[in-house]
Amino acid sequence: MKKIEAFIRPEKLEDIKDIMEEQKLNGLSISQVMGCGNQKGWTEYVRGAEVDYNFLTKIKLEMVVADDQVETVISRITQKAYTGEYGDGKIFISDIQDAVRIRTGERGEDAIK
């Protein structure tokens, strides 16, 4: 199992949610985060004073998926979140050791089916 963590533009959330159904994913967490990437925000002058705006609102998606779903999910997120402009987002992938469905005690991939 892998965890896919994707930081995307808020306006892309609806498109991304389609992937859930399409790829038969059974769980997803979504949060609103503030963040910055390479551009580190921007600077504006307000009444002559320099003001730094460092953080933009992004959506963070977290999904734990089976190994055989990982590459498809990554490529679908990439296609749907893409505009070609700075700030399109980033995807991080990490190993998940185990999972537990609390109600049944199922472990591993059974717990995310």
Ligand X SMILES: Nc1ncnc2c1ncn2[C@@H]1O[C@H](COP(=O)(O)OP(=O)(O)OP(=O)(O)O)[C@@H](O)[C@H]1O
Residue 13 near ligand X by CB under 6 A: no
Phi, psi of 55 (to 5 degrees): -125, 140
Q: Which among Mg ion, ligand X, none contacts residue 9 (Cβ within 5 to 8 A by kind)?
A: none
CA torsion 51-58-88-52 (nearest 10°) is 10
Nearer to ligand X, 38 or 97 (CB): 38
Q: Which of 36, 91, 93, 96 binds ligand X (CB under 6 A)?
A: 36
Q: Which among ligand X, Mg ion, none contacts residue 56 (Cβ within 5 to 8 A by kind)?
A: ligand X
Nearest to residue 37, comparing CAs of 54, 21, 50?
54
